[in-house]
Structure 1
């Protein structure tokens, strides 16, 4: 056999071997590795971790392993704002982050931070999953972010070491830590407290050392961060709703096939529903556990808080929320409040 025929025979052999490998499934597709970051805790029973674990399992199963999700909890890749910036830069593919820093990127996201904007959890879900929530989601690609689904952080409550918070007068003189959200800072100051924006990772030590008198967070965070060790009073104010969201980097998203995009989109929606259900059960248990750990828990008279928000906070954000048109912002807020 001359060299030309020998070369041809070798090529045919290689093609035959490759065909056999593909038919047997030996030649696997390359795997796309996805870093999914959040800055919650590492407790596998926490609803946030229940949600992201369900997301991971659905994505890997439905993609036949061509998508692999690695979860980075507890701020391993940075605090919430750093994670969102990593999403934009493409150093992190996906995240589950709270709404606190999102107004820095999409001003309309500050809607969800307005005090008492939602009457209850059912109202929140109807708005977020409906036309208004989808309209806000549509703003994200222009800033390099793909918004996939909203999930629950729950309603936020005050804790402190001085006294139960029953009325706004009880907040006077108290230094209360808040997230780095302009709306939240303004709201706490309007309520009579002194708002202190601070990283979540610094909060326990700040409470322990008396740098701040109190803080506000959902019940599961109050438990998971062991704030009951350094806080005596838990007041069920429910002043802010605390949405989180599954997001992805827009440039990275556009590099995916339509099939992979559909898998990730659907898994994010389903994981958000799993997380919401888990949180509803978890909060009931957490209240019992916090009482057992010595916290004094009280209901709050909310009317004056609600009126302070309506008078002092809402109007000052209408222009921002309306993209420069206060009338548009006001109508958007009213549309949320009108949702039955």
Structure 2
């Protein structure tokens, strides 16, 4: 009887072990499937920030939405883009710092603050560097633009593509600006850019660096007399409500750029890196096209809003720029080498 009981107990133990082994095998299969899913199916979020207008039809937002569409479609759901316009995540400098630290994955930023991070990027802020839009695009998309983009990597930032902010124009409440003499005594708001500050001062005005979101109120209250921006921003920010004169100076060109955290970029597979890079290039191409259409009738619109528009003797401003401003930044643009900085400026100027 005891022997029979032992046999029954032995058979029970063996059967229980087999059941446990089977369950363990099934658990192992499930874990493997979950790991595979986490490896390829987890959605990564790209927070995409800019400090431009929030209106959907503005070229910045048309381009941002094109980027989102392409990335989400071509990544098969592995990447999701969240767009934060109108400075929701901070001004341009804050966005750049966020991208550098990795707290913001991507940004569409103006060049103004970039000189603090990559001194050679001050090149793009030089007054009258570009003859026209075609010249600007050839320089940015060519060897000079790539040389500067390569320098971003040392700062933990990858520049994916340049887009177009257009040329910048003076507005003010005092008088038409036709020559540098007309700048005297004017307080002009500028971006946080050393080159821009020194340029406006060299032209004869007093440069007042100020965050973009503060400009309208400063103009309204008379804290500054004027400002300088592209036509689309003069319109979208309704500066025509608090400014009388628009001078067609085209003194600065305004390249914007799609930047991404290098650490985040490296965390992506090569396939997803290509998805993001290709989408950025296409979005920036769309932005350039949209801006041209957006600005087509902008002068007429601003005139109808009550602004007085005048031509400018650009040659007088160009002379000051090349004699007083350019030499001051040779060393910084050349990373401590004046000859290298001058050579880079000349290469940009002479690009055909």
Corresponding residue of 2:164:
152
Going from structure 1 to structure 2, the CA distance change for 1:257 and 1:22 (only over 3 Å counts) comes to: closer
Matches within 5 A, 1:1-340: 2-13=15-26, 29-340=41-352
Give, in angstroms, the shift of residue 12 of structure 1. Answer: 4.8
Going from structure 1 to structure 2, the CA distance change for 1:22 and 1:300 (only over 3 Å counts) comes to: same
Q: SS at 1:138's partner residue?
A: helix
Give, in angstroms, the shift of residue 61 of structure 1. Answer: 0.3
Gap runs ≥5 in structure 2: 1-13
Q: Which moved more, 1:246-255 or 1:73-82?
A: 246-255
Could you give the per-residue CA deviations for residues 251-274 of structure 1, whole angstroms, max 9, x where no partner exists?
Answer: 222111111111111111111100
How far apart, CA to CA, are the structure 1 residues paired with 2:331 and 2:75?
44
How far apart, CA to CA, are the structure 1 residues paired with 2:269 and 2:17?
40
How far apart, CA to CA, are the structure 2 residues paired with 1:176 and 1:16?
68
Q: TM-score scaled by structure 1? A: 0.95
How far apart, CA to CA, are the structure 1 residues paired with 2:110 and 2:20?
61
Going from structure 1 to structure 2, the CA distance change for 1:19 and 1:197 (only over 3 Å counts) comes to: closer
Q: SS at 1:101's partner residue?
A: helix
Give, in angstroms, the shift of residue 198 of structure 1. Answer: 0.6
Q: Which moved more, 1:249-258 or 1:209-218?
A: 249-258
Give, in angstroms, the shift of residue 18 of structure 1. Answer: 8.2
Q: SS at 1:149's partner residue?
A: strand
How far apart, CA to CA, are the structure 2 residues paired with 1:20 and 1:37?
35
How far apart, CA to CA, are the structure 1 residues paired with 2:275 and 2:255?
23
Going from structure 1 to structure 2, the CA distance change for 1:329 and 1:291 (only over 3 Å counts) comes to: same
How far apart, CA to CA, are the structure 1 residues paired with 2:279 and 2:124?
23
How far apart, CA to CA, are the structure 1 residues paired with 2:278 and 2:218?
40
Bigger radius of gyration among the two: 2
Q: TM-score scaled by structure 2? A: 0.92
Give, in angstroms, the shift of residue 163 of structure 1. Answer: 1.1
Q: SS at 2:112's partner residue?
A: coil
Q: CA RMSD in A?
A: 2.0
How far apart, CA to CA, are the structure 1 residues paired with 2:32 and 2:88?
43
Going from structure 1 to structure 2, the CA distance change for 1:8 and 1:51 (only over 3 Å counts) comes to: same
How far apart, CA to CA, are the structure 1 residues paired with 2:286 and 2:179?
35
Give, in angstroms, the shift of residue 115 of structure 1. Answer: 0.2
Give, in angstroms, the shift of residue 5 of structure 1. Answer: 1.8
How far apart, CA to CA, are the structure 1 residues paired with 2:343 and 2:29?
66
Give, in angstroms, the shift of residue 292 of structure 1. Answer: 1.6
How far apart, CA to CA, are the structure 1 residues paired with 2:119 and 2:29?
58
How far apart, CA to CA, are the structure 2 residues paired with 1:207 and 1:335?
38
How far apart, CA to CA, are the structure 1 residues paired with 2:253 and 2:101?
29
Q: Which moved more, 1:248-257 or 1:197-206?
A: 248-257
Give, in angstroms, the shift of residue 288 of structure 1. Answer: 2.3
Gap runs ≥5 in structure 1: none
Q: How many correspondences in the alignment?
A: 339
